[in-house]
Chain A
Amino acid sequence: MKTIKHLFGIADLSREQIEYLVNMGESFIEVNRRSIKKAPTLRGKTIINLFFENSTRTRTSFELAGKRLSADVINISASTSATTKGETLLDTGQTLAAMQPHVLVIRHSLAGTCEFLAEYLPNTALVNAGDGAHEHPTQILTDLLTLKQTWGSPKGKIITIVGDIAHSRVARSHLLAAQKLGYTMRVVAPKTLLPSQIERYGCEVYHDFDAALPGSDAVYMLRVQTERLTDSCAFPSIREYHEAYGLNAKRLRAAGPDCIVMHPGPMNRGVEIATDVADSLKSHILNQVEHGVAVRMAVLAALCGGQHEEKSTDSGKPLSDDKAQGSLA
């Protein structure tokens, strides 16, 4: 397997790499449940979380992930950074890179931020924590871990994703992951919230939520940014949106008893999700949050690690002192 140098998006990962990160994330769940939530994996590593957009949960998740692996973690948010003094994104990136962090975790409203910076920051591993409407890979790895724990494997399942697909980095990353891992995505939105030629991701496109529900194994509700969307004529009112595309208890029943509900958070009650559903699903949605820390630990560990070893033909692969020659040995 090819070593992962940066994490820009699901687009750059092979199926094997995705499974590697999800499996490793799964093993970190246990570390997070210990009374002493700390492993020395990343001791001596420095991680900078550079957030140009507000995000409590993703930033906290990355921060905990780094700290629980013993890395030194610094958080910088746009409001306190030099960008308010007119410094460019590139200058900010180069300045922080000059302080020699191992990993720079970046969230920015500009699609392609990591691709852009990587050209100028050759010695720093970059992690995309969400870039505009492009990708949000760690959210999707989190979801895949949740799905692994629920289903074993997402292969052959149908995930119905609902909301502002046009501006959703989560949707794009999921559409890419679906192609690589062999599950089906149904996208549900009015045409005003769908990007051009979305069907080329190999997904099924619905404008009618109720028609998309039967057969769905999971319903994935995207957060709707109401202020932005009513301004741009994407839909006429929250009332009409909720009626057409909101998830409520009645709709959930139509999907079948085994259908699970996912939400990347934070939820907008009364818009994309009704309170009765939100409350009944709370535990499941909080589960996703827990998995987020574990998966981000895996991502950070993978990026700080060296080369992958050649595959051993020894099926037993005992992790004895002896096996780890030249590495742990």
Chain B
Amino acid sequence: MSGTLLIKNGHIIDPANGIDTVADLWINDGRIAGIGSFEGEQPDQLVDATGKVVCPGLIDMHVHLREPGQEWKEDIESGSRAAVAGGVTSMCCMPNTGPHIDHAGIALQIVARARQVNLCNVHPIGAVTKNLDGKELTEMRELSRAGCVAFSDDGLPIWHAGVMRKALEYSASFGFMVIQHAEEKALTKGGAVNEGWISTQLGVEGMPAAGEDSMIARDIMLTKLADARYHVAHISTAGAVELVRQARKQGLKVTTEAAPHHFALTEDEVLGYNSDAKMSPPLRTEADRLAVVEGLRDGTIEVIATDHAPHHEDDKRCGLSCAAFGIVGLETMLPVSLELVRDGVLSMSDMIAKMTCNPARLLGLDSGTLSTGADADVTIFDADATWMLDRNKLVSKGKNTPWHGKQMTGRVTHTIKAGRVVFSDGVVHE
């Protein structure tokens, strides 16, 4: 976009460049032009960021956009609108669409559609196996050329150890990363919530922590064998965090992400059969939650990603055991994550890093920084603003959130995409 934009007097935090200062941010022709004092300059557009945090546009590396195939739940446009409303300017969409992102045509179609919408960068994650059926590898090089930034069968695990080994070896040959939805289905079959005291009281089948841990343990050994890059999606158990911590200590290329609900909520949310607190992996115990928080603190968990999973209310309004897995996350990512800063777990800069430069580094994206010359993707938020979350006011088509009616602290005030203000004062600007 041509023209100049001055973001005045904000608390600029750019973890990639170690910047943490109150200053002005100058944007010219859609690119970052500089950080400093621009007193006396005459910008085409001015945003006063006094008292607010100015940071690189957020990156959510784990999103379900549902297009193509389930557009009644979400589509690329509605998902992009929800993203910028949550301060997200780049997101990765998972391949469990219909058809799946298991061939280049679908990836190209998604990228093209996202460019047309022109609100948020959309980077597809390619499928590891054709039809996500865990048997034959996809054409990863071709998918990569079509825009895929990593590979996963998310929603489903790559359960077959032999296929997983080959997937890791093949992807490593080209420097690709495999993202695993770690769930041993033989242990979680029929489960709706974490296995434990809560599942016993509800009389609902549980999903044991061992279902997640055992697959991650296996995968870490395979990662070592294949000398590959392995990323654990939505880590949720104490055991899994410890496995990843030890693997990283050994120098393996193992990384992981945590979803806000797994570090903010526990299985208690499902008491009363609340299907808006049902997701996979499920909300776990307080001990697991604390372990995820500790993993974020000590750096074992480098990334915060939402696993944004919009569903139609019909898919949730049928009782806990029958309800679909997943909650929406794009619009609650920042306020929920700010809790970590308020609790002293992370500095503001470290929290922002987990949603900007860290995922950018893992995925090889240019975004996630305020370096001069970079695309001017910027998020401005008021860390202290309080508001009541009303599911009906969510921008996403999905209204499935456990935070309905809850008080949130921290609110995105402006989202800027390549120099253009795409969200401000609660309104998305097409």
Contact = CB atoms under 8 A, between A and B. Distances in A.
A172 B196 CA distance: 14
Contact of A110 (B195, B197, B272, B322): B322
A135 B202 CA distance: 9
Interface string B312-335: 001001111110000000000000
A111 B202 contact: yes
B387 interface: no
Interface string A78-120: 0000000000111000000000000000000011110110000
Contacts of B204: 111-112, 132-134
How extensive is the interface on chain A, given as a class?
20 to 34
17 contacts: A11-B201, A110-B322, A111-B273, A112-B320, A112-B321, A113-B319, A116-B273, A131-B203, A132-B203, A133-B204, A134-B202, A135-B203, A169-B203, A172-B203, A195-B200, A198-B200, A200-B197
A197 B322 CA distance: 24
B273 A115 contact: yes
Nearest to A120: B317
B319 A196 contact: no
A131 B203 CA distance: 9
A196 B194 CA distance: 10
A189 B322 CA distance: 28
Given A110-B321, A111-B273, A116-B320, A196 B206 contact: yes
A116 B322 CA distance: 11
B199 interface: yes
Nearest to A165: B200
Contact of B319 (A112, A135, A198): A112
B322 A196 contact: no
**Interface residues of B: mostly helix, strand, loop or mixed?**
loop
Contacts of A11: 201
Contacts of B200: 172, 195-198, 200
Interface of A: 11, 88-90, 110-113, 115-116, 131-135, 169, 172, 195-198, 200
A198 B206 CA distance: 13
Contact of A196 (B195, B272, B273, B320): B195
- Of A115, A116, A134, A200, the most chain B CB neighbours within 10 A belong to A116
Contacts of A131: 203
A115 B199 CA distance: 15
**Interface residues of A: mostly helix, strand, loop or mixed?**
mixed
Nearest to A110: B319
Interface string B253-283: 0000000000000000000110000000000
A89 B206 CA distance: 23
- Of B195, B201, B208, B314, the most chain A CB neighbours within 10 A belong to B201
Nearest to A90: B317
Contact of B318 (A89, A172, A195, A198): A89
A133 B203 contact: yes
Contacts of A113: 319
Given A90-B318, A112-B320, A116-B319, A196 B197 contact: yes
A1 B31 CA distance: 69
Contact of A197 (B196, B202, B321): B196
- Of A132, A135, A198, the most chain B CB neighbours within 10 A belong to A132
B199 A112 contact: no
Interface in B193-249: 195-197, 199-204, 206, 208
A111 B317 contact: no
Contacts of A112: 202-204, 273, 319-321
Contact of B197 (A115, A132, A197): A197
Nearest to B197: A197
Nearest to A200: B197
A112 B323 CA distance: 12
A201 to B, nearest CB: 8
Contacts of B318: 88-90, 116
Contacts of A115: 272-273
A13 B200 CA distance: 19
Given A89-B318, A110-B319, A196-B199, 12 more contacts: A89-B319, A90-B317, A111-B204, A112-B202, A112-B203, A113-B319, A116-B318, A172-B201, A196-B197, A196-B208, A197-B197, A200-B197
Contact of B196 (A110, A116, A133, A196): A196
Nearest to B202: A111
Given A132-B203, A135-B203, A111 B197 contact: no
B165 to A, nearest CB: 28
Contacts of B197: 196-197, 200
B321 A111 contact: yes
Contacts of B314: 88
A89 B201 CA distance: 22
Contacts of B273: 111-112, 115-116
A134 B203 contact: yes
Contact of B203 (A111, A198, A200): A111
Nearest to A135: B203
A132 B205 CA distance: 10
A172 B314 CA distance: 30
